[in-house]
Structure 1
Amino acid sequence: MKINWNLFKVLSLLLAIVGLYGFADHRSKTKNVENISVQFLGENNLFLTEEAVNKMLIQKFGSLKNTPKEQVVLDTIEMTIANSPMVKNAQVYLSVEGELISKIVQRKPIGRIEGISKFYLDDMGKRMPLSKYHSARVPIITGKITGKSLEDAYVILNFVMGDDFLRKNVIGIHIEDEDKYQLKFRLENFVVNLGGIENLEGKFKNFMAFYVKATKDDTLNDYVAVSLEFENQVVCTKI
């Protein structure tokens, strides 16, 4: 019987590869966690620290270092980190070398509520607790805080954050009543009475036309308030 040596070589090579893979997989599973790494992704990495994450994991799971890799439940660790009120999402995995790596995206506050309760409003419109590690420089929201007024404040803040000029100059939102909002600017004693949240694009377009003209005429400091409450009008109040 003629032996197909080429086929024999191929089968032998495949068996060797499978054997090596099985050996490497077995060795990997029996290896211990050698190191724990916490990586914060994006720009907003101030509200939670690596030390705080490690402390959280120790309180929940004990020391994970030197734990056999096969005993580490990645999904449970990932869920524990993701459930932190400062975390937007998290990914946890083990490297071949035995390093337990946590990649974390933190939540992003866009406004800070100053009332009976103090908290942030994040970029998803959800409440976010203050952090003991960092205080965000975002517009302050004051006045009559209700569920509806916070929803409106979120709409206003989203618009403000999308405009370079407004983002740099709006420092606060005062809620006088539902559908009656006032913006505070960096200019001392200068406010913009916005009214409701309808037609924000048109209102701010009118405001910018006023602002450019008043800046050109060097009269901006003569005004203490600008009202955008009336359709296609800008009503100014002088000092």
Structure 2
Amino acid sequence: MIKKFLKYISFLLLIVVLGILYSFSSARNSKKKVKDIVVEFEAGENHFLTHAMVNKLLIQNDSTVKNQAKSVINLYSLEKMVSKNPYVAHAAVFLTIGGTLKTIIKQRAPVARIMTKSDSYYIDKQGVKIPLSANYSARVLLVSGVKKEEEIKWILPLISFILQDSFLQKEVVGIEKFDDDDYQLAVRSGDYKIDLGKLTEMDVKFKKLKAFYNKAFKDKTIQNYKTINLKYHNQVVCAK
């Protein structure tokens, strides 16, 4: 009984000591100041934001967080501030034991540039709007004929289809939407246009296009055409 009692007392004392050490360590750690600010970008194309631009977002109480006590740093607020930037897809802000404020950022990747009469901007694969940047001009699909932002979601499946096909990704450079919801493609290999029609049976239409290309490039007649029409069932109709 005495041995059990002593073990119990020893265990309680150990917990108390550990609690005191933890409290002391936490108090001491909270008084430490932020020594450095480190910004890292996740793997991928990171052209829109620079380290200096992110540092400017890491502001608390109208001043930089560097040399501020760790205890007063509002990580949630800083993370929220960085995440609000239109070029940021995801951000994580945290403090290291050594006193470094670290920010890891994943930038948005543009897949197309929407061009209207009054505006021009990028979109990512979810259709999220990304403003143009003075730092970088992305080489992406040019999309015209969009009159309302809600129309973008109609075009996303076509953009996705093109980008998932290695040949189409290199060949198609532009998409134009017409008022009757027909679509026309601009291509890299010539001045001719491809009439795609409605966004239906895209896999069938592009298979027809590839089959036509194989023949037209082989006999060198492709540049004789002004339009290649894929709208009709089981045939490709060309106009000179």
Of 222, 225, 228, the residue aligned with 2:224 is 222
Partner of 1:235: 237
SS of aligned partner of 1:88 = strand
Partner of 2:141: 139
Partner of 2:37: 36
**Partner AA of 1:175 in structure 2:** K
- Residues in 2 aligned to 1:93 and 1:157: alpha-carbon distance in whole angstroms: 36
**Partner AA of 2:95 in structure 1:** L
Partner of 1:95: 96
Cα displacement string for residues 41-69 of structure 1 (whole angstroms, at most 9, x for unaligned residues): 13131111111111233487411101111
Farther off after superposition, 218-227 or 72-81: 218-227
Q: Aligned pair 1:182/2:184, yes or no?
A: yes
- Residues in 2 aligned to 1:134 and 1:32: alpha-carbon distance in whole angstroms: 35
Q: TM-score, normalised by structure 2?
A: 0.89
- Residues in 2 aligned to 1:174 and 1:92: alpha-carbon distance in whole angstroms: 41
SS of aligned partner of 1:179 = coil
Superposition map of 1:76-155 within 5 A: 76-115=77-116, 116-147=118-149, 149-155=151-157
Compute the displacement of 1:178 (Å): 3.9
Distance 1:82 1:144, change over 3 A: closer
Q: Aligned pair 1:156/2:155, yes or no?
A: no
SS of aligned partner of 2:45 = coil
Compute the displacement of 1:231 (Å): 2.5
Which segments of 5 or more consecutive residues in structure 2 lack a partner in the other structure? none
- Residues in 2 aligned to 1:131 and 1:43: alpha-carbon distance in whole angstroms: 17
Cα displacement string for residues 178-199 of structure 1 (whole angstroms, at most 9, x for unaligned residues): 4111111111203211111111
Farther off after superposition, 62-71 or 18-27: 18-27
- Residues in 1 aligned to 2:27 and 2:91: alpha-carbon distance in whole angstroms: 28
Cα displacement string for residues 111-143 of structure 1 (whole angstroms, at most 9, x for unaligned residues): 112222111122111222111211110011123
How many equivalent pairs are there?
Answer: 238
- Residues in 2 aligned to 1:9 and 1:144: alpha-carbon distance in whole angstroms: 75
Paired-residue identity, %? 36
User: Is the Cα–Cα contact under 8 Å of residues 90 and 103 in structure 1 kept in the other structure?
Assistant: yes
Superposition map of 1:39-78 within 5 A: 39-58=40-59, 61-78=62-79
Distance 1:52 1:141, change over 3 A: same
Farther off after superposition, 25-34 or 148-157: 148-157
User: Is the Cα–Cα contact under 8 Å of residues 89 and 106 in structure 2 kept in the other structure?
Assistant: yes
Compute the displacement of 1:33 (Å): 0.8
- Residues in 2 aligned to 1:83 and 1:119: alpha-carbon distance in whole angstroms: 17
Superposition map of 1:1-40 within 5 A: 2-4=2-4, 7=8, 9-40=10-41
Distance 1:60 1:214, change over 3 A: farther
User: Is the Cα–Cα contact under 8 Å of residues 94 and 102 in structure 2 kept in the other structure?
Assistant: yes
Compute the displacement of 1:177 (Å): 2.5
Distance 1:77 1:178, change over 3 A: farther
Q: CA RMSD in A?
A: 2.2
- Residues in 1 aligned to 2:131 and 2:61: alpha-carbon distance in whole angstroms: 21
SS of aligned partner of 1:123 = coil
Which segments of 5 or more consecutive residues in structure 1 lack a partner in the other structure? none
Of 195, 198, 201, the residue aligned with 1:199 is 201
Partner of 2:172: 170
**Partner AA of 2:69 in structure 1:** P
**Partner AA of 2:170 in structure 1:** K
Distance 1:113 1:2, change over 3 A: closer
